[in-house]
Amino acid sequence: MIEFDAAVKEMEALFNTAWQANSGAVFGYVPAIEWHGKETKDKIDRLKVWARFSTQNVFEEQATLSACVDEPFKRRFNGSGLIFVQLFLPKTVANALIKGRTLAKVARNAFRAKKTDGGVVFYNVRINDDIAPEEMFYRINVVAEYDYDELG
> What's the pLDDT band for 151 if we cut at 50, 70, 90?
confident
At residue 24, the 3 state secondary structure works out as helix
Say what the pLDDT of residue 66 is.
Answer: 63
Is the model's pLDDT at 75 over the cut of 90?
A: no
DSSP assignment letter at 43: P
Is the model's pLDDT at 71 over the cut of 70?
A: no
- The pTM of the whole model exceeds 0.85: yes
**How far apart are alpha carbons 139 and 132 in whole angstroms?**
7
Contacts of 73 (CB under 8 A, 6+ apart): 67
Q: In what order do the strands lie in the sheet with 121-128?
A: 32-35, 50-62, 76-90, 137-151, 121-128
8 A C-beta contact, residue 58 and residue 42: no
At residue 23, the 3 state secondary structure works out as coil
What average pLDDT does the segment 82-102 reach? 96
Say what the pLDDT of residue 16 is.
Answer: 98
pLDDT tens profile 39-55:
777 888 989 999 999 99
**How far apart are alpha carbons 100 and 91 in whole angstroms?**
11
DSSP assignment letter at 115: B
pLDDT tens profile 2-61:
889 999 999 999 999 999 999 999 999 999 999 988 877 788 898 999 999 999 988 877
